[in-house]
């Protein structure tokens, strides 16, 4: 079973995000969401690149 660090990371930030929003510090929440999205897109590009070569840590995909 693959680890889900990305989901846990976002889930754990939600309470803090609510506090920041209530304090009017929306820039922190905005930056967190933007950087998280950028990391997710980067990981997707890495997976596509790896799949293009047909090899993963689990062996050949073909």
Closest CA to 2 of 56, 39, 48, 41: 56
Closest CA to 30 of 39, 21, 22: 21
Residue 20 is part of which domain span?
Answer: 5-60
Mean pLDDT by groups of 10 residues along the chain of 62 residues? 68 92 96 88 78 60 48
Q: Is 5 helix (H, G, I), strand (E, B) or coil?
A: helix
Confidence (pLDDT) at 42: 83
Confidence (pLDDT) at 56: 56
Per the structure, the count of domains in the chain is 1
Confidence (pLDDT) at 62: 47
Q: DSSP characters for 16-61?
A: HHHHHHHTT-HHHHHHHHHHHHHHHHHHHHHHHHHHHHTEETTEE-
Kindly report the pTM of this predicted structure.
0.62
């Amino acid at each position: 079973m693959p680890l889900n660090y990305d989901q846990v990371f976002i889930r754990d930030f939600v309470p803090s995000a609510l506090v920041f929003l209530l304090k009017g510090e929306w820039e922190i929440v905005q930056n967190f969401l933007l950087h998280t999205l950028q990391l997710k897109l980067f990981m997707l590009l890495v997976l596509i690149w790896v799949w293009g070569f047909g090899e993963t840590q689990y062996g050949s995909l073909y």
